[in-house]
Amino acid sequence: MAYEQTLVQTGLTSDQAGVYETLVKTGPLPASLIPRRGGLQISRPLVYKVLEQLMTEGLVEKKEEPQKVAIFAAAHPLKLKELIEKRLGRAKQADIALSGIVDKLTGDFNLAGGKPGIRFFEDKEGVREVMNDALTSKTDIYSYVDIDAVEREIPEISRDFAKARRKLGLRKKNIGVDTPENRKAIENYFADVTEERLIPWPTQSFGTVMQIYDGKVSYFTLGDRMIGVVIADKHIYEMHRSLFEFTWQNPLAYIPKKVQTAAEEEDGGANSISDVGTP
């Protein structure tokens, strides 16, 4: 069959492609003649089954008249494009539905098999996906943040993430490096859902953000090449959570003073929340 391979790529089976192509080339036929006219190695019962499948997809029409054998005809080939578009729509809906449960499935898989789930991302939109993955968390988010890199590379993504957390009431604790610039950046930054602490550290910039939340640990880099990874593993999560909680208690940490709440901001307070800062 001349078009079988291409038709199979559209989603038809080999038998469906053979029957459809035969009807396209020969015109309407009774089911019994289709294998012979198309040179198909297919049994008569299977021909009827395939014809039913093609009719369901809108690719074959059945013509019946009283006291006459039913005739089957191919629908216009443009129906194939409609079929592909319909399948793409179903695939998109399936992808959206799967996105809502994949994390739970991954958790169940990890618990049952003890295997970590790892996903990789690239570029700025990949960073956005990694960051937004934490919006599903049922627990507070812990994060090590290179504040300068965030403000320089992804201020809009950071701001959108913080606003989304505010709507969800999702709290976050951030640890950054103590510098005069970082002290200024964290003052009054979405303080109703964000706690900030800065610790003294010899290296001022890592170009990386790490988030710890709900059984996962994620990283993304900020610079010329942005990459990200989300790791779902109970043991890795618990280790980093414990290390974060220990670091959070650093006696030398800088803790900003109590700042304006979201409600006060809406009332038009003088010190409104900044549009840049840690996510």
Q: How confident is the model at residue 98 (pLDDT cuts 50, 70, 90)?
A: confident
Each residue's pLDDT tens digit, 110-128: 656 666 678 889 999 999 9
Mean pLDDT score of the chain: 87
Each residue's pLDDT tens digit, 136-174: 999 999 999 999 999 999 999 999 999 999 999 999 999
- The residue extents of the domains of the chain are 4-75, 116-266
Each residue's pLDDT tens digit, 238-279: 999 999 999 999 999 999 986 444 434 444 443 333 444 667
Class of the CATH-defined domain 116-266: alpha beta
Class of the CATH-defined domain 4-75: mainly alpha
- Percent of the chain with pLDDT strictly greater than 90: 66
Task: Name the strand (E) or helix (H) holding 146.
Answer: none
| pTM exceeds 0.85 | no
Distance CA 250, CA 200 (A): 10
pLDDT at 224: 86
Q: SS3 of 100, please?
A: helix
The DSSP result for 210-253, as a single string, is EEEETTEEEEEE-SSS-EEEEEE-HHHHHHHHHHHHHHHT-TT-
- Which tokens go with 45? 């019962």
Q: How confident is the model at residue 105 (pLDDT cuts 50, 70, 90)?
A: confident
Q: How confident is the model at residue 108 (pLDDT cuts 50, 70, 90)?
A: low
